[in-house]
Amino acid sequence: MSGRLVYPWSEALLQYRFRHDHPLDPDRLRLTYVLSDMVGLLDESVEVVEPPAATREELGLFHSAEFIDAVRACDGPDYYDRRHGIGTPDNPAFREIYEAATRYVGATLEAAKRMVQGTRMAFCISGGLHHAQRSEASGFCVFNDVVIAINYIQQERPCKVLYFDFDAHHGDGVQNAFYRTPDVLTVSVHQSGRTLFPGTGHVFEYGAGEGTGYSVNVPLSPGAGDAELIRVFNEVVIPLSKSYRPDLLVTQLGVDGHFLDPLAQLAYTSTGYEHVLRGLVELAKTCEMGWLALGGGGYHPVNVARLWTLFLALMLARDVPRDLPEEFVAMCREDGYRSFPTTFRDTGQVPQMYVSAGTVAAALDRTLARLHKEVFPYHGLA
């Protein structure tokens, strides 16, 4: 891929903080930026850009005027609007929530605008807020930067988009936004909604109207790990991408499926993620407009930082050292982090998770069989 990778970044992005004890800690963004810089990835091959906040008009590319007004009306932690999902346990209100949320959208939009202008690759670590609905905040997500960015790109340059999401949680907001159109093929691999928020993402959710067959869900059993992630990528994402032939690849790279993450029950490691990232690099080469990569979930801040830094290295066709820099490890310990990996790639054995590997594999067999029967025919695949 030619050109510099665009990397939207601003210290202002760290102000998106619901509460000090909330799982979505913006420190994971700071640590990712610091670590990527320490290992030399943010050099001349990367264009670090300071993004502006999104405008009200840009928010309206997806969200309703009523919802935008509801977020703007929030004046502090006591604000409560159940109808619009603000002031809930997942989305506590905080002062200047509107300003903070528009900065997140602005960062992803800046990457999207650069791609319309010809940039071939961007990585927005603050993006990927895939749960927000048109008129409701949900699952730590106030505004849905993913949908806004895709709508902006398609408005400026009509194209077919493949959206791939490997966050542990189903990308319901993005799926719902494009459920009736074939112009965006959404593929989400996630822990089953029977066992994890948001309770959706079942195989039978495969689109409607002209979009029938263009929403693809691969729910996994708790305990699913690298073998399942790699299999889904090889047996679902690759054949669908070859059939669909997208102009643009958009990915949500949430790492809450890692075995160290406290909010989900999957067992991915850096090995599985690396296989998928290398595959995405190759897939993006076939897309005329390239690849817009976004962050997403991940609730162990140091673990998020090392994985997203590894992802950036893979996108740049660079490598990282075996160990995290001593300076970074010392900084994390000074900041109060006590238990975290000190190597970029996982070493040792993954703890046994919940159910046997055979049970997990058998459940995926059934899911894939159903996809082949009910979804693949819409793409000319047996």
Q: Which domains does the chain have, with CATH numbers?
A: 5-50+100-379 (3.40.800.20)
Q: Which tops the pLDDT comparison, 173 or 2? A: 173
Q: Is the pLDDT of residue 229 over 50?
A: yes
Q: What is the pLDDT of residues 282-291, one digit of tens each?
A: 999 999 999 9
What is the full DSSP assignment across 133-175? BTTB-BTTBSS-HHHHHHHHHHHHS---EEEEE-SSS--HHHH
Cα 189 from chain centroid (whole Å): 11
pLDDT at 209 over 90: yes
Q: What mean pLDDT do residues 174-200 have?
A: 98
Which pLDDT does position 357 carry in this prediction?
74
Q: Helix or strand or coil: residue 355?
A: coil
**Predicted local distance difference test score (pLDDT) of residue 371:** 98
pLDDT of residue 355: 63
Q: Is the pLDDT of residue 2 over 60?
A: no
Burial, 291: exposed, middle or buried (Cβ in 10 Å; 0-12, 13-18, 19+)?
buried
Place of tokens 């899911």: 367
Alpha-carbon distance of 200 to 130, in angstroms, equals 13
Looking at residue 353, its pLDDT comes to 65
Model pTM above 0.85: yes
Quick: pLDDT tens for 155-164: 999 999 999 9
CA 221 to CA 196: how far, in whole Å? 10
Q: Which residues pair with 248 in a beta bridge?
A: 161, 290
Q: pLDDT by residue (tens digit) across 340-354?
A: 999 999 987 777 665
| CA-closest candidate to residue 71, choices 133, 120, 1, 24 | 133
Residues 251, 285 contacting (CB under 8 angstroms): no
In the DSSP assignment, the letter for residue 322 is: S
Residue 177, pLDDT above cutoff 70: yes
Summary mean pLDDT of the chain: 96
Q: Are 249 and 146 in contact (CB under 8 A)?
A: no
State the helix-helix crossing angle for 65-72 and 97-116, rounded to 10 degrees. Answer: 130
Tell me phi and psi for residue 36, to 5 degrees: -60, -35
For the segment 196-222, the average pLDDT, to the nearest whole number, is 98
Tens digits of per-residue pLDDT, 301-337?
999 999 999 999 999 999 999 999 999 999 999 999 9
Confidence label for 1 from pLDDT (cuts 50, 70 and 90)? very low
Query: What's the average model confidence in pLDDT over 349-370?
Result: 85
pLDDT in tens, 43-70: 999 999 999 999 999 999 999 999 999 9
* Helical segments of the chain, H only: 27-38, 56-59, 65-72, 97-116, 145-156, 172-177, 226-232, 238-244, 270-285, 301-315, 326-334, 357-374
pLDDT of residue 352: 66
Dig out the tokens for 182 from the structure.
């074939």
What are the phi and psi torsion angles at 250 (to 5°)? -120, 130
Given a cut of 80, whether residue 382 has pLDDT beyond it is no
Peptide bond connecting 198 to the previous residue in cis, omega within 30 degrees of 0: yes
Q: Which residue has the tokens 């902006």?
A: 152
What pLDDT shows up at residue 350?
Answer: 77
Of the listed ranges 209-213, 243-247, 344-348, the least confidently predicted one is: 344-348
Separation between Cα atoms, residue 83 and residue 86, nearest integer Å: 8
Q: Which of 241, 84, 60 is nearest to 151 (CA)?
A: 60
Answer yes or no: is pLDDT of 370 > 90.
Answer: yes
108 in Cβ contact with 148 (< 8 Å):
yes
Active-site annotation, residues: 170
Q: Which amino acid is located at 44 in the chain? A: E
